[in-house]
Amino acid sequence: MAQDAIRMDGKVAIVTGGAGGIGGATARLLTARGAKVVIADIAFARAIDLARELPGAHALEVDLEDPQSVENMVEETLAHFGRLDVLHNNAALLGPDVALADTDVESMDTAFWDRTFAINVRGTMIACRTALPHLRASKGNIVNTVTNLALQGHIVQAAYSSSKAAIIQMTRAIAASHGVHGVRCNAVAPGMTVTPSLLEAFPAGLREAVEAETLRDRLGAPEDIAEAVAFLASDAARNVTGEVLVCDGGSASHVPGLAPFRAFLAAGG
Ligand SMILES: NC(=O)c1ccc[n+]([C@@H]2O[C@H](COP(=O)([O-])OP(=O)(O)OC[C@H]3O[C@@H](n4cnc5c(N)ncnc54)[C@H](O)[C@@H]3O)[C@@H](O)[C@H]2O)c1
């Protein structure tokens, strides 16, 4: 078993936001490892395009802001594939307008805050609630995508980071309640990852500032995050639950100020 534990043959996974950058890479990797994957996204046309490329993939339209739509996503997956082994809650409210609207708490718009929590937190909760009986039957698991911004403070994205911190706690609560029934629940916390929506929302100067803090030679790619998700979703992670796997190229692992410190030394200071 250990040798093939990373394989996903016979498993059925839902990837929300599966038509996006990280979700798309994860759908590709899971199907390559043998899973049947539901690509669930509000961007249905893009979900259909990707599903056409991937053997064993199926596109579904979902709006995480709409509780009924989220419940339907799980039920339609069962109707289509007959089982559910992995729920990957990856979709989130993102984009250039969102990044501009989401600053600090003092200037926060209440409706924007509520929408962020409706999509990111309530949507994730309803997906988990609906999926849990089926995951209990399959001894399956949940992987939630959060962010390193949910673990450390920043001067941007107060609503987004708070919503993702709530998902971390939901991850632990589900792991604690359902581990006894054989259901695992983990989170992956990407650092800045180069996806089309990231390129749209963050100018090069800001991306370079974050890149300077990584311990690698580049920012993360969607495929890097997909590998972490696929590990947590697989039997290779059978003894891992209630955890947050930080996947940020080491950005959050070091003492603050590494980038200017490195620049100072490089300049002969
Ligand atoms: N890219 C990064 O730098 C980064 C860093 C940390 C965490 N993340 C997280 O990774 C995940 C994927 O991000 P990405 O960079 O691939 O972004 P993306 O925009 O490429 O993907 C997000 C997907 O979610 C879908 N979506 C948005 N609202 C939805 C809704 N209401 N219902 C259903 N689907 C909806 C979008 O259509 C899109 O396909 C998100 O949870 C994000 O918070 C990304």
Q: Which domains does the chain have, with CATH numbers?
A: 2-266 (3.40.50.720)
Per-residue pLDDT at 108 exceeds 60: yes
Q: What is the pLDDT of residues 209-261, one digit of tens each?
A: 999 999 999 999 999 999 999 999 999 999 999 999 999 999 999 999 999 99
Dump pLDDT digits (tens) for 42-70.
999 999 999 999 999 999 999 999 999 99
Q: What is the pLDDT of residues 174-221, one digit of tens each?
A: 999 999 999 999 999 999 999 998 998 889 999 999 999 999 999 999
**pLDDT at site 99:** 86
- Residue-wise pLDDT for 118-137, tens only, equals 999 999 999 999 999 999 99
The two structure tokens encoding residue 56: 């064993």
What was the pLDDT predicted at 2? 46
**Which of 101-105, 142-146, 166-170 is predicted least confidently?**
101-105
Query: pLDDT confidence of 1, banded at 50, 70, 90?
Result: very low
Catalytic residue numbers, as ranges: 160
Indicate which residue's Cα is closest to atom 12 of ligand 1: 22
CB atoms within 10 A of CB 141: 28
9: how many CB neighbours lie within 10 A of its CB?
9
- Distance (angstroms) between ligand 1 centre and the Cα of 235 equals 25
Span 73-87, average pLDDT: 98
Query: What region does 221 belong to: left with phi over 0, alpha with psi -120 to 50, or beta?
Result: beta
21 alpha carbon to ligand 1 midpoint, in Å? 7
- Of all protein residues, whose CA lies closest to atom 7 belonging to ligand 1? 147
Task: Answer for the pair 226, 184: CB distance below 8 angstroms, yes or no.
Answer: no
217 neighbors 181 (Cβ within 8 angstroms)? no
Q: Is 90 in the pocket of ligand 1 (CB under 6 A)?
A: yes
Q: From the CA of 94, how far away is ligand 1's center (Å)? A: 6
Name the percent of the chain lying above pLDDT 70: 99
pLDDT at residue 3 in the model? 60
Which of 15, 195, 218 has most ligand 1 atoms within 8 Å of CB, for mutation?
195
Q: Is the CB of 94 under 6 A from ligand 1?
A: yes
Q: What is the DSSP string of 121-167?
A: IIHHHHHHHHHHHHHHHHT-EEEEE--GGGTS--SS-HHHHHHHHHH
Average pLDDT over residues 84-109: 94
* 218 Cβ contact partners less than 8 Å away, ≥ 6 residues apart: 211, 249
User: Which atom of ligand 1 approaches the CA of 193 most closely?
Assistant: 3
Please tell me the distance between residue 198's alpha carbon and the centre of ligand 1 in angstroms: 9
Ligand 1 within 6 A of 24 CB?
no
Does residue 251's CB lie within 6 angstroms of at least one atom of ligand 1?
Answer: no
Q: What is the pLDDT of residue 121?
A: 98
